[in-house]
Amino acid sequence: MTMRRTFMKTVATMAIATMGLGVASMAAAEELDTIREAGVIRIAMSGAYPPFNFVNDQNEVVGFDPAIGTEIARRMGLEVEIVTTAWDGIIAGLLTNRYDAIVGSMSITPERDEVLDFVGPYYTTKRAIFTLPDSGITSVSQLDDVTLGVTLGETHEEWARDQGYTIRTYRGLPELILELQNERVDAIVNDSIAAILAMGERDIEYVMLDDLETDVIGAGIAIREGNPMLAAEMQAALDEMMEDGTYLEIAEEWVGGDIR
């Protein structure tokens, strides 16, 4: 398996618990015990990021993320409750106990790792910039003179602001694509896999700029800090489904192939 992440903070906390310094251990045990007592783990996502998570015609939240979260819950002996919320407030919702985890294609960044713990990554992607074929934009060097569409609260918004680009913010990928189609923005910035699949589903012709220098990004499952037992159980379930072929079945159904 690629992109295996070492949970240094989690390992350290578990080591402290083993030595009998029990405050962090008690807090972690209580949270996992609370989830087990309820029999349900609440997982959050935006519901506006197809094909990873979106609302279908039956008003159900479906996609790669819900399928992964549901399977992890099943292997932990739990039911799953899916909570949809605006992306720009999703971390605050986790920190204020509105749900137990974020399974919503959240990129693992050093800034987020300061306030959250992560399980995974459970897939990898990279930042990409898309425009229409007749836009005249062929290079990143032209972006200083155009308007970029970004999703509010994503790492791509922060990146675009750091570059000094002119941006407009939107609530999710479907809105981004619509604004690009209607030429209200000149280009959009998004994770490559999600945008390619979403535009392909809509038969939209696009150009992806090939001179953008960017790193591969891991998407992880976010939980509150100080819960090593919960992290370990979720990681074990994820590892098991990757090893026994279930992960690949889910990935092929929703995104067309292995994205580890």
* Per-block mean pLDDT, blocks of 10 residues, the chain (260 long): 39 37 45 94 97 96 98 98 97 98 96 96 97 97 98 95 98 96 97 94 95 94 96 98 98 94
Task: Evaluate the CA torsion angle 118, 122, 127, 129 in order and state its sign.
Answer: negative
Residues counted in the chain: 260
Q: For residue 102, what are the contacts with CB-CB under 8 A and spacing of at least 6?
A: 43, 44, 45, 90, 91, 94, 221, 222, 223
Rounded to whole angstroms, the Cα distance separating 42 from 76 reads 13
Q: What does DSSP assign to residue 102?
A: E
Rounded Cα–Cα distance for residues 254 and 256 (Å): 6
Tell me if 66 sits within 8 A of 82, measured CB to CB.
yes
Tell me, what's the pLDDT at 2?
40
**Can you give the pLDDT at residue 15?**
36
Which stretches does DSSP call E strand in 31-90? Answer: 40-45, 48-49, 53-55, 61-62, 79-84
Residues contacting 75, CB < 8 A, separation 6+: 237, 240, 241
Q: Is 126-208 in the same CATH topology as 8-125+217-254? A: yes
Which pLDDT does position 30 carry in this prediction? 63
pLDDT at 8: 36
The owner of tokens 């050093």 is 110
pLDDT number for residue 24 = 41
Q: In terms of CATH architecture, what is 8-125+217-254?
A: 3-Layer(aba) Sandwich (3.40)
Torsions phi, psi for 48 (to 5 deg): -135, 40
Give domain limits for the chain: 8-125+217-254, 126-208
126-208 carries CATH number 3.40.190.10: yes
